[in-house]
Amino acid sequence: MALREATRTCSDMSKLSKRGAFFESVSRYFDEALPHTGVEPGLAAQVRACNAVYRLRFPVRDDDGKVMVVEAFRAEHSFHRFPTKGGIRFSRSVALNETVALAALMTYKCAIVGVPFGGAKGGVRINPSTASEGLRERVIRRYTAELIRKNFIGPDIDVPAPDYGTGEKEMGWIADTYKDLCMNKADVYACVTGKPLGMQGIPGRASATGRGVYFGLRTVLEVAEDMRALGLAPGMGGKRVIVQGLGNVGFHAARLMQEEGGAVVVGIAEREGGIHHPDGLDVEAVWRHRRETGSILHFPGAENVEDGARLLEYPCDILVPAALENQITAANAERIQARIVGEGANGPVDFEAEEILRRRGIFVVPDIFLNAGGVTVSYFEWLKNKAGVSFDRMMSRHEELLKEELIGKVEELVGRRLEAEQRLRLIRGPGEEELVRAALEQTMVLAFQKIRRIWKEEKLPSLRTAAFVLGIRRVGESYRHHGIFP
């Protein structure tokens, strides 16, 4: 059953979502890329197919003691690799078609960055901003139990992660529930990623998607040929940036672009509106202001923008929509003034808007590459949980001994001993977070180089088309080598 056909079987569910355009965009991106892949039609149909979808309803007691029925989904898009992998989002608007489309993106995203997972996605229809912590816990624990009942979760089956509206707490509750219901397994904590450090999480996971956005955009901006075509100087330094969404992705991406990349963040948009300052905003200070006041509005010295969506149309060099899908559509694409749009969220630019931006010479860095930092570091966490040991424990002391010997020989040759503090700094072995960051950086750089090479050598219409071509080819190749039938 093809991806489009899989959704038709539950057309009544698709009516619940206003995001049908997102599913349609993913389908059209696939269709645009497919003729360039060389993948035979029958195999292409399997690559496109959503292999399994679980739609469920379960009762939970609200805080007032009344029973409420919660609707939820889990889609496992591709079985070319196991386990499948994908986040769980809490939102009143999640629906089957959206969940399937997000699972498909995860399949291609994992293939692009070389992470050996199939794509999956989950959605639970509750409002995370109004639900109490107790209700969220009851919902996610029951959801986990239901997934266990149908074999839709497990370290070697399907591994969830955080997404919109969920975070470390929810992932910790999933791990705890799975551990209690699936005892006597050595790798129970590998059933989910994005967990707290105290539950065998990994340092750097919370900021991984935003950091991946930063590494990806930095790599894009270093290509002088592409920047000249846009009328921009190479490098991130001094580039004016507007970010939509100050959640995990937007905050860390904006902070790193400012602190490490030297960019000037001139605008930030959120649900309650936006703020703008032509000389730049202190991202950390805006974050603190929102935590203290509940809003980014009325930040000292900044202009309030009543409609945050309008801020996307302000002049800038780089626009990073890092909230939800379908933020740039045919309705506003003609008014976008950025030179580069970096998709921090999944599907913020729909298919019609993509064509308009392309015609206007605006460079779109696609989500299936740019926001792959989360699943990349989730892969490292899963490996750590499967192995039962942190990466630095296996190598840090060994590196220190080698460096100590090397520095000792250098000191003998030059006849001078380094100061104790300087010597210690040079000898110290890498910590786990340093290893994670270095591996994430290398992953994003290599993935972009492969996508760009396909884009240029095969003369494809966009970087997104090239990314889909790479993803489809890799999934198809995996099916060829591992066999279609058991």
The whole-model pTM stands at 0.89
Nearest to 86 by CA among 153, 26, 23: 153
Cβ atoms of 256 and 217 within 8 Å: the answer is no
Phi and psi angles of residue 49, each rounded to the nearest 5 degrees, phi first: -65, 145
User: Which pLDDT does position 413 carry in this prediction?
Assistant: 86
Q: How far apart, in whole angstroms, are the C-alpha atoms of residue 434 and residue 437? A: 5
User: Which pLDDT does position 388 carry in this prediction?
Assistant: 83
Pairing state of beta strands 158-162 and 84-90? parallel
72, part of any domain: yes
Chain-centroid distance of CA 233 in Å reads 28
User: Which pLDDT does position 2 carry in this prediction?
Assistant: 36
- Active-site residue identified among 121, 195, 239, 384: 121
- Domain of residue 23, residue span: 3-200+463-482
Strands of the sheet with 340-342, listed across from one edge: 303-305, 273-276, 264-270, 240-244, 318-321, 340-342, 363-365
26, part of any domain: yes
- In three-state secondary structure terms, 154 is strand
Angle formed at CA 246 by CA 303 and CA 270, multiple of 5 degrees: 50
Phi and psi angles of residue 303, each rounded to the nearest 5 degrees, phi first: -85, 130
Alpha carbon distances (Å) from 235 to 119, 220, 448 = 33, 9, 16
User: Which pLDDT does position 170 carry in this prediction?
Assistant: 97
54, part of any domain: yes
447, part of any domain: no
Q: How far apart, in whole angstroms, are the C-alpha atoms of residue 159 and residue 120? A: 8
415, part of any domain: no
Domain count, the chain: 1
- In three-state secondary structure terms, 483 is coil
Pairing state of beta strands 67-76 and 52-61? antiparallel
DSSP state of 431: P
Structure tokens at 444: 């994003």
68, part of any domain: yes
232, part of any domain: no
User: Which pLDDT does position 397 carry in this prediction?
Assistant: 67
242 forms beta bridges with 267, 319
Residue 185 designated active-site: no
154 forms beta bridges with 158
DSSP state of 339: S
User: Which pLDDT does position 471 carry in this prediction?
Assistant: 97
Alpha helices in 231-350 (DSSP H): 248-259, 283-293
178, part of any domain: yes
In Å, the largest CA–CA distance within the chain is 79
* CATH number for the domain harbouring residue 83: 3.40.50.10860
Cβ atoms of 61 and 68 within 8 Å: the answer is yes
Q: How far apart, in whole angstroms, are the C-alpha atoms of residue 446 and residue 368? A: 14
CA 431, 436, 441, 446 dihedral sign is positive
Tell me the mean pLDDT per 10 residues along the chain, length 486: 35 42 88 95 94 96 95 96 95 93 96 96 95 97 97 97 94 97 88 95 93 98 96 97 95 97 97 96 96 95 94 97 92 97 95 95 97 96 89 65 80 84 76 89 97 98 97 94 62
Chain-centroid distance of CA 310 in Å reads 24
- In three-state secondary structure terms, 293 is helix
Strands of the sheet with 84-90, listed across from one edge: 52-61, 67-76, 118-124, 84-90, 158-162
- For the chain, the straight-line distance linking the first and the last C-alpha, in angstroms and rounded, comes to 18
